[in-house]
Structure 1
Amino acid sequence: MNELKVDGVSRVYKEKTALYPCSFEATEGTCVVLCGGNGAGKSTLLQIIAGILNPNEGTTSINGKGLKLDRENYLKEIGFMPDDFHAQEMMTVEEFLRFYGSLRKVKKDRINEVMEWIGLSNKKAELVKSLSKGMRQRLLFGQAILAKPNVLLLDEPTNGLDPYWVNQFVNILNEIKKSGTIIVFSTHMMDVAAETGDIVLFMKQGKVIQTIKNENNIEDTTMKLMKLHRQ
């Protein structure tokens, strides 16, 4: 059974606290959404879980594997989508996915399946540099889900997506949840958080202000998040 534990992680940059001690747990098929404005600490928390940043305090573990003691096996559990695109722009869409697929020994059939999911099958021969912002976001999302990770980490995945693809993204996430994957992602879109999140952490200035357990009441959860955002 998949399990993610985040225990008291914090991060300080040059005496400025970017993330105050934060703890939460998520089990198989759970989606945790990080909400809040710019500078809330969402990206910092995701990057700590992903092993990109080291916390000043606290620990993270996935299925009993600790990042400090078993880094290699810990990272094998994760699929990560960053909040911005810094990748090989002279690759084609298919080459890009095949490259990342080769790192995780992903078969060609899975690469084709993912291209279909993210709506880029008809763009597979196009260079990454020619893609629109929304297409690049979908491509980054595609590489994150390629290896069917046990924990999927997504930083602002809906940025640049049009309404159709925001809806498709929600549908895909809900399908991935059914497979048992734990999902943690950040967003400023309150309705997306309410539609996908089982647990929503509302963050402000590096602190988790409120934890909302979403019980399938999308309108109620959306209103709670909007009120928190306006405070």
Structure 2
Amino acid sequence: MTSRPLRERPARSRKPPEERRAEIVRTAARIALAQGLELVTLRRVADELGVRPSLIGHYFPASDDLVAEAFAYAATRERDSLLPREEAGLPPVDRLALFVVRLTDGEYVDLSRLWLNARHLSRFKEPLSRAVDAQEAGTRGALVELIEEGGLKTAGGALRAALHILIAVDGMGTYANTAGQGDDALSAGPDLGDLVIETAEIHLGLAPGTLRERARAHAVEPRDVD
């Protein structure tokens, strides 16, 4: 009686540690943006990647560290898309215009929700708290640098102007979960993104309409305001 030849199992490709770790963080960030940081667990990420939770745990023994890195990854990509390196040669005022107008065009709603989510959870998760602080400092520093390079006449200095802009952006973000819902005065009132742009122009010492005009010059259009 002849025995059947053994069927060879296909060899499972093992990704280099750096590549696997980056894949885990990207997947966790995608889950965070879509469903919230609370859903970033070792098991959930493992299910998304089709691997065992122990593999995720090998790279992130503490799930809080994965949550923090997922947020940092998403926030860093946000800043890079708002202030891309290929635009580094543009005048500082143009870069500021592109930053503000892009943030108010409605494409960053998921990231606004993520920031709200991260700030709330950071009260209870020390790694996330450090990540939020670092990302805030990175964006704040980039704005201050642009304001100083542009020689803009701000009333209280570059840092004060940057904080006013970022506080206005955060204020707009607080409505990310309710925008367009209900029949209250806010739903029918002024466009929140338009108010952010106006706030930026006031504190940067720019004439009304300057930021929109500079952004349009680079084919970036703000949303139409009804």
TM value normalised by structure 2: 0.28
TM value normalised by structure 1: 0.28
* Higher normalized strand content (fraction of residues): 1
